[in-house]
Copies of this chain bind each other. A is one copy, B any other.
Amino acid sequence: MSNTPRKKSGPERRSECPLNASVEMLGDRWSLLIVRDMMLRGFRSYKEFLECYEGIATNILADRLHKLIANGIITAAPDPSDGRKLIYSLTAKGIDLAPVLTEMVLWAAAHEDTGNHALVCQMQNDKGKFLDAIRERWKSSGARRP
């Protein structure tokens, strides 16, 4: 886990509990799916996120991207090769969500009848290696599609 400075005097929270902080930042039906698409599918642009398997609406996507930026989980930068595009990237904080994502995937895979067995097996066989690979791919912001 990387050590970025903690947010001081941040947004008003319902409680001081760290789990509640996570839930307030990520506890909805879309935010983690966007992070998934960045981390696992290498998505970087608004248009790509729209293609997510679950079919997010355009206004919700824009809203969630803003909130993820506000929470320091992703950043947006103009694409130098196309002035219309923004390139979204995971911050260190965003990359640190990899263990959360992994545990959620393993939990669902263990108890529900879900797909993407290749990913699940990879996670099961060597969780540490899988996490290292994700961190490696995003080092120096040079992520490419897997």
Binding site for B on A (CB under 8 A): 1, 3-4, 6-10, 14-29, 32-33, 36, 53-55, 72, 93, 96-97, 99-116, 119-120
Contact = CB atoms under 8 A, between A and B. Distances in A.
22 contacts: A6-B110, A7-B113, A9-B113, A14-B53, A16-B53, A16-B114, A16-B116, A17-B36, A17-B114, A17-B115, A18-B104, A19-B33, A19-B105, A22-B105, A22-B108, A23-B29, A24-B29, A72-B111, A96-B110, A97-B107, A99-B106, A100-B103
Q: How many copies does the complex hold?
A: 2
Contact of A19 (B15, B16, B23, B101): B101
A21 to B, nearest CB: 4
Contact of A3 (B6, B19, B53, B110): B110
Given A27-B29, A100-B104, 18 more contacts: A4-B110, A4-B111, A6-B110, A14-B54, A15-B53, A17-B36, A17-B53, A17-B116, A18-B104, A18-B105, A19-B105, A21-B108, A22-B104, A22-B105, A27-B27, A27-B32, A96-B110, A103-B103
